[in-house]
Structure 1
Amino acid sequence: MDNSNQRYKEFGDFLKTRRAKILPSQVGLPEGTRRRTPGLRREEVASLSGIGLTWYTWIEQGRPIQVSTQLLESLARTLMLDNQETIHLYTLAGQAPPTNFPNYDESVDPMLQHVLDSLEFSPALIMDARLNVIAWNDAASKLSLDYSKISLYKRNVLRIMFTNEEFKETFTDWSSAAQGMIARFRTVYSKFIDDPWIEELVNELKRESKEFNLWWSMHNVKTEDTRFKTIIHPVLGKLDFEETSLLIADNTSLRMTVFTPMAETDTKEKIKQFIMREKI
């Protein structure tokens, strides 16, 4: 067996051993009673990572499959790899590990999740430095998107802004909101300009969205600030929020974004009644 074939085999074997260590409950799946082997099934890893089962099966079988840096990051998240395991994953795939990549151990600190959950009537998210959504509260799921139904590979707010038609329809002025997001993302891009994951995301969005391709070429930049946001909910109608973005003190690569119902509007009352009805 030549070196390249051995590398593909090692890559596939590594993935198999890592998925065997993950309990279904750790990724929000039921344990079930008909599992013949411990850990996740291939189809579960493929689904959670946003790739086809056949393709993922070929990777585990050691076939000469070329994988992107975005897919590697998605696999690292799904399999909850630590930093050392992530470096090993990239190396086996023949890719340079990105600099300053986040730790994929579990999800956010339970205390941070508790903060999110305590904001019962304010949708709130926690994102990493690349704008990947890693935690959210129930209000965000009910009023914006159910992020648990979006694969890790696609759970990036910039990608969602330009490729998710359901999300686009919630904006009264999607064009302005999308251009503002690009301008804020430009400041992130400057910090990760050598990161192949970021470069691949940008190139993919250039291909998939003519609007992104046009506005990205303008090189507009904008810092994070307090903003006002109006969305159109399919049931509740017009909702007005103040959008505040805060760095997490213990991990400044993470940012919490909170959408607080604006005072002197009926937004909070609408949300309160809606969520309370959902609980009944």
Structure 2
Amino acid sequence: MTTMAQEPAVATSEIRRHELAAFLRSRRERITPEQVGLPRGARRRTPGLRREEVAHLSAVGVTWYTWLEQARDIHVSVQVLDALARTLMLDKSERAHLFQLGGAVDPTPAAHCEGVSDSVRMTLDQLDPLPACVQNSRYDILAYNRTYARLFCDLDAIPPEDRNSILLAHTNPDWRSAIVHLDETMRLMAAKLRASMAGHLSEPAWKMLVKRLQTESPEFRENWERYEVVANRTKTKEFRNPYVGRLTVCHTDLWLGPEHGARLVTYTPEDEETRERLEKLHMMFSGAGTG
């Protein structure tokens, strides 16, 4: 039996479900099939996307998604909310609204950015023209300097929730083309992620990242099933930069806070030619912003 104390909470939950249903419908109806790579078809009468199309693109069941738009009392995980936010092309404010209506906390780096103090940001700036960034143990890129912003692609143009070095190496064409030994790098990344994840197996943000990688990258799925593990280590790497050409650098991790796994990632030149090219890259974008 529902008590009087429970009634306000039940009513609030029901209102939130109806708001969520209405919000999803409105966002679905504003997106054209062409925006998500689907054919329009001559007989389409539905404004925007159909429910089954949103369900398919978000890798959820059609019936389940229909219940969601019908304001049924069902549990919505952060992984599903993240998938829906990407399918419906929500901006930062809309994404935050979706998670609030879903009664969940957004675990992506776009929602919060731990471990990056003003002094660390100043250090990043002082390291220019050496590319440097701050990453957490999940490989989210939390902050970066001017040279790093153009090392692989225009990182400023990437949405904050997608700024993850493993995700970008598997899904972003520009980032992938910049890595000389891509197959070896992807296998190593999967092994490093599995090693890092051992202490975070039940955390939603980690499960969400792995699920997304498995959905969007066949190379990741194959490497993930190898169950290989590798610890972080200093390593020489080669990149193809679209502005200055080939770069040979030494990758080094400097740990900032073991409780969060935050680390300062730096790339130092292995030869004089790379040093000159990094300086040139830095000067080319000296007026650009940084993360």
**TM tier, smaller:** 0.5 to 0.7
Q: Partner of 1:143: helix, strand, or coil?
A: coil
Q: Distance in 1 between matches of 2:283 and 2:13?
A: 57
Quote the Cα distance in structure 2 between the aligned partners of 1:241 and 1:207: 31
The answer to whether residue 163 in structure 2 is matched with residue 142 in structure 1 is no
1:258 equivalent in structure 2: 266
Residue equivalent to 1:69: 78
Give distance in 2, aligned partners of 1:275 and 1:203: 36
Partner SS, residue 139 of structure 1: helix
**1:246–1:204 CA distance, 2 compared to 1 (3 A):** same
What pairs up with 1:170-189 in 2 under 5 angstroms? 170-189=178-197
SS at match of 2:128: coil
Partner of 2:3: none
Aligned to 1:169, what secondary structure does the other structure show?
Answer: helix
- Find the aligned partners of 2:114 and 2:227 in 1 and give their Cα distance: 35
- Normalising by structure 2, we get a TM-score of 0.64
Q: 1:163 aligns with which of 167, 171, 174?
A: 171
Amino acid at match of 1:192: H
Structure 2: 5+ residue runs without aligned partners?
Answer: 1-9, 22-26, 28-47, 50-67, 87-91
Question: Could you tell me whether the CA contact under 8 Å between 2:110 and 2:161 is conserved in 1?
Answer: no
Which residues of 2 match residues 204-219 of structure 1 at below 5 A? Answer: 204-219=212-227
Largest Rg, 1 or 2: 2
Match of 1:244 among 252, 261, 270: 252
- Count, aligned residues: 228
Measure how far apart 1:93 and its partner are: 2.2
Give yes or no for contact 1:226–1:244 (8 Å, CA) kept in 2: yes
Q: Who is 1:127 aligned against? A: 135
- What are the equivalent positions in structure 2 for 1:105-120 lying under 5 Å apart? 108-120=116-128
Answer yes or no: is 1:6 the counterpart of 2:15.
yes
Aligned to 2:243: 235
Contact kept? 1:107, 1:135, Cα under 8 Å: no
SS in 1 for 2:17: helix
Q: Secondary structure at the match of 2:139?
A: coil
The gaps in structure 1 that reach 5 residues or longer are 13-41, 43-53, 56-61, 80-85
State the 1:129 CA deviation: 2.7
The Cα shift of 1:91 comes to 8.0
In 1: Cα distance, 2:255 partner to 2:236 partner:
19
Alpha-carbon spacing, 1:197–1:173, altered in 2? closer, same or farther (3 Å): same
Q: Is the 8 A contact 1:11 1:93 kept in 2?
A: yes
TM-score by length of 1: 0.67
Corresponding position of 2:52: none
Aligned partner letter, 1:273? K
Kept after mapping to 2: 8 A contact 1:140/1:146? no
Aligned partners of 1:154 and 1:160 also within 8 Å: yes
- Distance in 1 between residues matched to 2:201 and 2:123, nearest whole Å: 32
Q: Percent identity?
A: 25
